[in-house]
Structure 1
């Protein structure tokens, strides 16, 4: 089944490489793939929503028992690797995670993983996604969520600071609201998921460049996506920010810092 979607980021080769680089960024930041508080069982079932290239699942598959079932879901399969390359305990399929899951998936998973949905939530309403997560989980199951806070950023360098001051106006005109990320824990609690961890960090110095590089690539994708759907009166502002971003990208390894803040959340469904 194919789904219509308004995903603002890209799904081309460079966009997929950027996703894989972000996985490395997250793993070096957290020190794990599966949160260490989540118990591993031989027969556990794990789902990832918005799996993209499935890099998190592929990485996790080698660390879990062979009988573990790892299911990756996305609204588009354009970034899925060829099926013959999937690990034996991984399967990938299409699913809209902003509506109720089908009965065949309800209450099936020990773990649901969510990462970097910042540009997928257009109106700040997390309720559909969190409800979907809660319905997928078994009693006692865990949601592991890593998110990018694009509002509370770490920025240094004159051009980076100017860009950081200007680009929010474009996002507002394009209907992109990133303010919800800092309240993920509240939404989880409202869905009666017990929050075990919720913290916002900064990247260690050796990861600052990696975040800057991948963020600048993601911003280019976002601006391209805005250009495909925006109203005519938004185009002049968009072209200005695209020119600014090209200048900023040329300075990516020359002392500028343009980082989002990493958010880590872990919650558990009641028994």
Structure 2
């Protein structure tokens, strides 16, 4: 369980002056709602990744995706959360790129060429620096905006392309060019795996409490700009791009054993700046917002926790 001491440290830091930092963009995409952050972004992404892996029950890849993969790309990679899990399985920092690399090592034949991994993000701010403990061999990073065509050297070169959590980055019809450019990376016969939160299902299944009331207000505000049923739109747009949909499956924390990262993920969600932006837009004062935060965090401290829902879309690019 998350102790009062840890929660208290967040409460002590949640002052108006600290939340003013949320206006400082750590990501350069103007449409990315989480560009306003009030906590360490590496830490937030690591917690989010571990919680998602808990939801997926550590099933990092869909079983239809073959074991032999020459090149793997991760979209909106941040600090490399998708590819990094495989490199150091005992590391406290778990990310998709490192995890997938480590998982692939366990199944890859010794005679087969090693898989190459590439993370793309609109900003290089969170990429591992040369010489950093986070830097792992065979993982490269490139700053690129997926609303623009990828460089020619990447087009049609990847056996697997992974994307995740673009729900707060892609608005409306912007999903059309985003999907076109993301799927352009795939080789003929290559696979796409894309995971997104199902915020509408989260709202529909929340029990009455202060956390529920607060997040209903926040997500309805988010829904004025972004789709709360984004995974359905992803499936439809991927199909429209000409890929064969192999599966769309929903996962949830409901019914799973307790996971501390589930609670930590909700805790850090209050420090992304999004709740404050929403409540400010609703006319709440700083004092009123701090009271709402205190009530919600007290519920978290007392064991109240909201379930998450997330869907995984798996598709394949035609061979011809």
Q: Give TM-score, length-normalised by structure 2.
A: 0.73
Count of aligned residue pairs for this structure pair = 263
Q: Does 1:148 align with 2:175?
A: no
- Matched with 1:102 is 151
- The answer to whether the aligner puts 1:266 opposite 2:291 as a matched pair is no
Which deviations, in whole Å up to 9, do the C-alpha atoms of 1:116-160 show, x marking residues without a partner? 111111336421221112210000000111111112104234212
1:35 aligns with 2:35: no
* Structure 1 alignment gaps of length 5 or more: none
Alignment match, 2:29:
5
Report deviation, 1:224.
Answer: 6.7
* C-alpha RMSD of the superposition: 2.8
- Mean Cα deviation higher: 85-94 or 63-72: 63-72
Structure (1 or 2) with the larger CA radius of gyration? 2
1:117·1:147 contact (CA, 8 Å) conserved in 2? yes
Alpha-carbon displacement from aligned partner over 1:31-53 (angstroms, at most 9, x marks no partner)? 322333211226x1000000011
Distance 1:61 1:205 in 2: 26
Shift of 1:267: 0.5
Distance 1:156 1:143 in 2: 34
1:89 aligns with 138
Q: Which residue of 1 aligns with 2:40?
A: 14
Is 1:107–1:135's contact at 8 Å kept on the other side of the alignment? yes
User: Is 2:142 the partner of 1:117?
Assistant: no
Residue of structure 2 in register with 1:180 after alignment: 230
Q: Does 1:257 align with 2:305?
A: yes
The residue matched to 1:263 in structure 2 has which SS? strand
The whole-number CA distance in structure 2 between the counterparts of 1:237 and 1:127 is 36
Shift of 1:94: 0.3
Contact 2:263 2:305 in 1 (8 A): yes
Please give the secondary structure, in 1, of the residue aligned with 2:245.
strand
Q: Give the whole-Å Cα distance in 2 for the aligned partners of 1:205 and 1:93.
A: 36
- Partner residue, 1:52: 78
Q: Which residue does the alignment assign to 1:171? A: 222
Once residues 26 and 241 of structure 1 are traced to their aligned partners in structure 2, the CA distance between those partners, rounded to angstroms, is 28
CA apart distance, 1:209? 5.6
Separation in structure 2 between the aligned mates of residue 226 and residue 163 of structure 1, nearest angstrom: 13
- Tell me the TM-score normalised to structure 1 length: 0.85
